Amino acid sequence: MKLKPVSPLAPPTQATPEQVTERERENQPPKVVQARPNGSSPQQCLVNFDDENALEHIYSQARSTLAYRTSRIGFGPLQTCDPSKHSDCWTYRQRCSKHDINVDTIGLTHFHLSMEAGIECYTLPDPGDGLGRGFGKLVDFKCTEVDWAKTPRVLSSHDQNQWVKIWVSNPENRAPMYFDMESIQVLPDTSIQLWFRKHDGTWWFWSDLKAGNTWTIREHTRDVSEVRIRGTKVGRASSYVIGSLVVRD
Indicate the SS3 state at residue 88: coil
Q: Identify which has the larger pLDDT, 90 or 8.
A: 90
Cα 86 to Cα 57: distance, rounded to the nearest angstrom:
15
**pLDDT tens digits along 208-240:** 999 999 999 999 999 999 999 999 999 888 999
Q: Domain for residue 136, yes or no?
A: no
Q: What is the pLDDT of residue 39?
A: 78
Chain segment 10-55, per-residue pLDDT in tens: 999 999 999 999 999 999 999 999 998 887 888 999 999 999 999 9
| From 52-56, 142-146, 244-248, the region with the lowest mean pLDDT | 142-146
Say if residue 190's pLDDT is above 90. yes
Is the sign of the CA dihedral 60, 95, 154, 156 positive or negative? positive
**pLDDT in the model for residue 225:** 98
Burial of 228 per CB tally in 10 Å (0-12, 13-18, 19+): buried
Determine, yes or no, domain membership for 125.
no
Give the model's pLDDT for residue 137: 85
Q: Higher model confidence: residue 138 or residue 181?
A: 181
Q: Are strands 70-71 and 79-80 parallel, antiparallel or unpaired?
A: antiparallel
Give residue 70's pLDDT.
Answer: 97
pTM here? Answer: 0.93
Q: In CATH, what number is assigned to the domain containing residue 169?
A: 2.60.120
Q: Is residue 149 part of a domain?
A: no
Q: Is 244 a domain residue? A: yes
Domain of residue 50, residue span: 4-27+42-116+154-248
In a domain, 144, yes or no: no
Residue 142 or residue 12, greater confidence? 12
Q: Given this model, what pLDDT does residue 82 score?
A: 93
Q: Give the residue from 24, 102, 115 showing the smallest Cα distance to 70.
A: 102
Cβ pair 120, 128 in contact under 8 A: no
> Considering its fold, how many domains does the chain have in total?
1
Name every residue whose Cβ is closer than 8 Å to that of residue 75 and which is 6 or more positions away in sequence.
Answer: none
| pLDDT value, residue 160 | 96
pLDDT, position 128: 84
CA dihedral 78, 80, 83, 89 (to 10 degrees): 60
Q: Within a domain: residue 139?
A: no
- Residue 206 CA to its chain's centroid (Å): 18
